[in-house]
Structure 1
């Protein structure tokens, strides 16, 4: 079973926040969302965070993205997504 959203965020039950409302609508682990809906939310959040992040991507990173999507099996792409999220969230790097 997936951990509740509150495990990853500052959301607490009945705090009246957007996250609390989403938990009530879709379950504490978003179990009432489809896989596609969850992936859409990941994409929407990532695009917005990328747009707000300073700097530019090196051209080679676009190639790497294509290679990842065309060559890696599903479980490795999911694992890489998890690893990248973890690195972004917990990195002490000033350029993160």
Structure 2
């Protein structure tokens, strides 16, 4: 079972934020979002966070991506969860800057 949105964010019910809107529309655990909607938001928000970072995506990561898509759905979901945890808690290598 998931935890309420405020567990993961600074959101407080009734604060008038966009997170408050999400809570009102989709429930405090976002349980009224479809799987497709959740996956869309994960991808779109991830793309925006990526665009906000300096540097480029490494060629090695680009080359392994197609192989990742061939694994099971459970493995892909687990990888997404692992990556989110590391992004959230700062377990990230420094970007390589090419001159």
TM-score (normalised: structure 2): 0.88
Moved over 3 A (4+): none
Deviation at 1:62, TM superposition (A): 1.1
Q: The residue matched to 2:50 in structure 1 has which SS? A: helix
Match runs of 1:1-96 below 5 Å: 1-70=1-70, 72-91=71-90, 93=92, 95=94
Q: The residue matched to 1:24 in structure 2 has which SS? A: helix
Cα gap change, 1:17 to 1:51, in 2 (>3 Å): same
Task: String of CA shifts for 1:54-91, please: whole Å, max 9, x gaps.
Answer: 11112121121111112x11111101100000001101
Q: The residue matched to 2:57 in structure 1 has which SS? A: coil
Deviation at 1:26, TM superposition (A): 0.4
Number of matched pairs: 95
Deviation at 1:21, TM superposition (A): 1.1
Any stretches of 5+ residues in structure 2 without a counterpart? none
Hey, what's the Cα distance between the residues in 1 that align with 2:63 and 2:34?
A: 29
RMSD of aligned alpha carbons? 1.5
